[in-house]
Amino acid sequence: MKNYQLIIFLTVVLAIYTSANVYIYLKGYNAISAFQHNRFRYFIVFLLLASAFVAGKIIEARSSSVFSDILNIIGGFWMAFMLYGFIFLFLSDIVSLALRITGTLNQGNIAVYRKWAFIITLITSFSLIAAGFINALIPVTTKYDLTINKPAGEIKELKIAAVSDIHLGSIIRKRSIRELSGILSNLKPDLVLLLGDIVDGEMGPVLRDDLLQYFTCPKCNDGLYAITGNHEYIGGAQRTIPYIEGKGIRLLMDEVVTIEGGIQLIGRLDRDGKRFYGKERKPLKDLIAMADTARPMILLDHQPFNLEETEKYGIDLQLSGHTHNGQMWPLNYITSRIYELSYGYMKKGNTHIIVSSGFGIWGPRVRLGSRPEVLFITLRFRNG
């Protein structure tokens, strides 16, 4: 990413982050008399919570430690509270305006309204975050049965386990990767595909405990393949990619490989490689030219953009992730506006497209309106 683009991006993000925190701070201060009587303590505690995530990321980039992990965890939960706290307090302002217009709310009872609006916001937000935290700890296996109208030699059926957005780092650690390994072993797939964002960003938390050593898949008969996601570049591809490949994971970077039955796996570099490193990925048509189009073609592309191009070039199955299905309601409504398919299954012409909500998380370990998942796809092929 060019310096001026990075500066603009960080400025916008910081402005939004700061504005939301100032809004919540003022709402709390004006609503709760105890905060007004202990102004300095309230300010310091609020400042520490609001800055935890940013501080954690800065410290993590310099020297990863348990302390930076703790800051990231605290900061992540605070970001979840920022989202829900802002939504409910903003709604309370709208209700307040309506009540003032109708004369129901006046100067005599406005203080009581503010107090209870803030208390209800806290209770509702914390309840949603607690439910979302529990939800984020319980992955599901989402199954699809698909048929491709092409021959695959003697293979009549191929069982694929696909996992996107693991986000190994300060929050997704040993327990999660061991759980994922257990799920894959129980599924007994013929092929395992990792759809990008294997790591969360900075490599410090991953290298500190060598987290990928806990990823095992003893019954992946036909191998293990992966592609890069945008977070492989955020953390520095010069460190991330060699680490992943050093664990025996075959990264497909604008490559086509042929597996048993003549099935073509087409792995694309993530589109953000250009933004972070100025590296253009190959056009899809160039990759198709390297494949045997008479055989089944499976495209691995982290971000599900330009699906019409996938259909145009006759891809049989595209697997993507990246969106997290919004991760936390109501952000799923935003992702559904950005992407033609932000989650689930779609068929365009003869092309099957699946977008996963991902196994891990970014930021808060909270999922509402989405589930952590492993895809299990049974592909059947035409005889002959």
Whole-number Å distance between alpha carbons of 163 and 220: 13
- Residue type for position 381: F
**Among 119, 202, 121, 123, CA closest to 167:** 202
Q: Is 200 helix (H, G, I), strand (E, B) or coil?
A: coil
**pLDDT the model gives residue 382:** 82
Query: For the segment 84-104, what is each residue's pLDDT rounded down to a tens digit?
Result: 999 999 999 999 999 888 888
**pLDDT the model gives residue 352:** 97
How does strand 250-251 pair with strand 224-226? parallel
**pLDDT the model gives residue 4:** 64
**Among 57, 54, 56, CA closest to 70:** 56
Q: Where are the beta strands (DSSP E) in 291-372?
A: 297-300, 317-320, 344-348, 351-355
Q: b vs e for 101-137, b when ≥16 Cβ sit within 10 Å of the residue's Cβ? A: eeeebeeeeeeebbeebbeebbeebeebbeebbebbe
Are 203 and 243 within 8 A, CB to CB?
Answer: yes
Q: List strands edge to edge, sheet with 191-194.
A: 140-148, 373-381, 157-163, 191-194, 224-226, 250-251
Helices (H), the chain: 3-31, 33-37, 39-62, 66-102, 110-136, 174-187, 204-208, 230-234, 237-246, 272-277, 284-288, 307-312, 331-338
How does strand 317-320 pair with strand 344-348? unpaired
**pLDDT the model gives residue 2:** 54
Are 105 and 99 within 8 A, CB to CB?
Answer: yes
Whole-number Å distance between alpha carbons of 226 and 245: 9
Whole-number Å distance between alpha carbons of 199 and 232: 6
Are 205 and 67 within 8 A, CB to CB?
Answer: no
**pLDDT the model gives residue 5:** 62
Whole-number Å distance between alpha carbons of 245 and 212: 10
- Residue type for position 258: T
**pLDDT the model gives residue 155:** 87
**pLDDT the model gives residue 220:** 67
All structural domains of the chain with their residue ranges: 3-136, 140-381
Q: Rg of the Cα trace of the chain?
A: 24
Are 335 and 102 within 8 A, CB to CB?
Answer: no
Residues of the chain with pLDDT under 50: none
Instruction: Give CA torsion, residues 315, 376, 330, 119, to 10 deg.
Output: -160
CA-to-CA dists, residue 73 to 38, 47, 276, 343, 364, angstroms: 27, 16, 26, 26, 7
**pLDDT the model gives residue 350:** 92
**pLDDT the model gives residue 13:** 84
Q: b vs e for 276-299, b when ≥16 Cβ sit within 10 Å of the residue's Cβ? A: beeeebeebeebbeebeeebbbbb
Q: Which two tokens stand for residue 101?
A: 């217009």
User: What single-letter DSSP state applies at residue 328?
Assistant: B
Contacts 24+ apart (CB under 8 A), 96-102: none
CATH, domain range 140-381: 3.60.21.10
pTM summary value: 0.91
Are 343 and 111 within 8 A, CB to CB?
Answer: no
Query: For the segment 4-46, what is each residue's pLDDT rounded down to a tens digit?
Result: 666 787 788 889 999 999 999 999 999 999 999 999 999 999 9
Are 162 and 374 within 8 A, CB to CB?
Answer: yes
